[in-house]
Amino acid sequence: MTFTQEDARSDLASAPGAEWWRTAVIYQIYPRSFADASGDGLGDLPGVTAHLDDLHDLGVDAIWLSPFQRSPQKDAGYDVADYRDVDPIFGTLADFDAMLAGAHERGIRVIVDLVPNHSSDQHVWFQEALKAAPGSPERARYIFREGKGENGDLPPNNWESVFGGGMWKRVTEADGTPGQWYLHIFDESQPDFDWTNDEVRAEFRDILRFWLDRGVDGFRVDVAHGLIKAEGLPDFTPDPEGGSMGGDAAEVPYWGQPGVHDVWRDWHEVLAEYDGDRALCAEAWLPTVKQTALWVRPDEMHQAFNFHYLETKWDAAALRDVVTESIAEYTAVGAPSTWVLSNHDVVRHASRLALTAENPQGAGIGPKSPGKPDPVKGLRRARAATSLMLALPGSSYLYQGEELGLPEVIDLPDDARQDPTWFRTNGERYGRDGCRVPIPWTADAPAYGFNTTGEAWLPQPAEWAELAHDVQVDDPSSTLTLYRALLAERRARGLGAGDIEWLDGYGDDVVALRNGTLTVIANLGDAPVELPAGEVLIASGPLDGERLPTDTTVWIAAA
């Protein structure tokens, strides 16, 4: 059946419970590393358009594009200077419209990234704030405060930036004297908006409508657990054992504050003005699944990334627990669980699942990191993990290049790194560049087909040649072929709308479940597992006769 743009824009929304985003497989595109049509070494929107057929053949339902709006690119586009335009390095608004139309013609919906917690310091509002006086309406759009100490030369509190260093920067006033401080949860080039300000809220409602009017299908919302800060901005020292959140969300004064839910209820109403089941997906790093589910209550977000699943170790009991809890907690609020294993902020799971040392989110891995992964084991586990994930009910997210089995790039030269984390920690943390290296399309082409000039904003490793799309597309044993088979079978069997039943009798190191008429068995132990009767539809790796080897997942049709 041919899917038309009119199908994507039906005058009537889907019946409750049947919306497209509940079961969709959504493919993340990191534009600067996907495909470069201009040849300048940075990926762009025409590059995305050129590969829409490849995405259609892969079998995804939607694409999510990391920020492509105007930006000085201090944090790879997550520092936005103009929310209503395309940065020239990525193309033009006309290029965006052409990409959007091409995606819709192929039945692929389009989600754009929106960054509401902070802007670039080059945003016109922030430039106006710097020129204005303390207490002015211009400064009230951001979080400016007087410093502590006799001369105000100490920051307003002790908060530490996610990227390292302090969370406050002092400005120089128009008369040349040291002035107020502004808050930046991330880099100092990313000042935080003050979301208690009605002007900020009205501005973002208008930004939403700008992109919705162009036809986008939804938004991935950056730092959705931020925005609102605790009244009084009290001092806070993170728990070093608190993981990516730094402690319980109720205690962290800049994460997960109750007032942020009012923002998402407001945005939900804006999206409800439009037909076609437009969707909001929260990037919300919270301590528990139960807390994350609060972001997807019926009048708030539609989806939230399941980072608890992403961060679960390669352990059968832990995986069973997080899947059970996720389905229960999301179902309790009427939302689907999402499933994700990789994105632009974490070590690629083809490497992460084989690490032998702790690696906090955002730290990255590099030449001096302990516990570097075994690439063979990492890929085997990655294929098995994805095969398990795509059998689960709900919506799944894929990150560009994982369908090629790409590992984290570890041996990037120091002088090539660009992540602010690397610089703000003086090289103590490698950051996220290793998962952002431009992906390979053609083995024997310049830059492996990323473009025709050989330029690439991050250097590509030699092994990219054997992982290129054109090498894998006709190889029946390739990771690309595995992904295409999984997505086709998932769609044909309606697994995204299914229910799972755990199967007993396979041992503690095995995850075994049934979704509809499909039996799924993942062997995370050391010993082979006897397979049940039935037709083997897909296996993530070679089988040992009638036995399932370690780090392998199989899909079996019921006998």
Which residue numbers are catalytic? 222, 283
Full DSSP string of 327-396? HHHHHHTT---EEES--TTS--HHHHTT--S---TTT---TT-SS---HHHHHHHHHHHHHHHTTSSSEE
Q: How far apart are CA 554 and CA 384, in angstroms?
A: 8
Counting every residue written for the chain, the total comes to: 559
Q: How far apart are CA 248 and CA 241, in angstroms?
A: 11
In terms of phi and psi (left: phi > 0; alpha: psi -120 to 50; beta: otherwise), the region of 352 is: alpha
Name the token pair of 102.
Answer: 């091409």
SS3 486: helix
Asked if residue 198 lies in contact with residue 205, where contact means CB atoms within 8 angstroms, the answer is no
Asked if residue 100 lies in contact with residue 460, where contact means CB atoms within 8 angstroms, the answer is no
Asked if residue 471 lies in contact with residue 395, where contact means CB atoms within 8 angstroms, the answer is no
Q: Which residues contact 85 (CB under 8 A, 6 or more apart)?
A: 69, 70, 93
The residue assigned the tokens 């790039």 is 409
Neighbours of 505 (CB within 10 A): 8
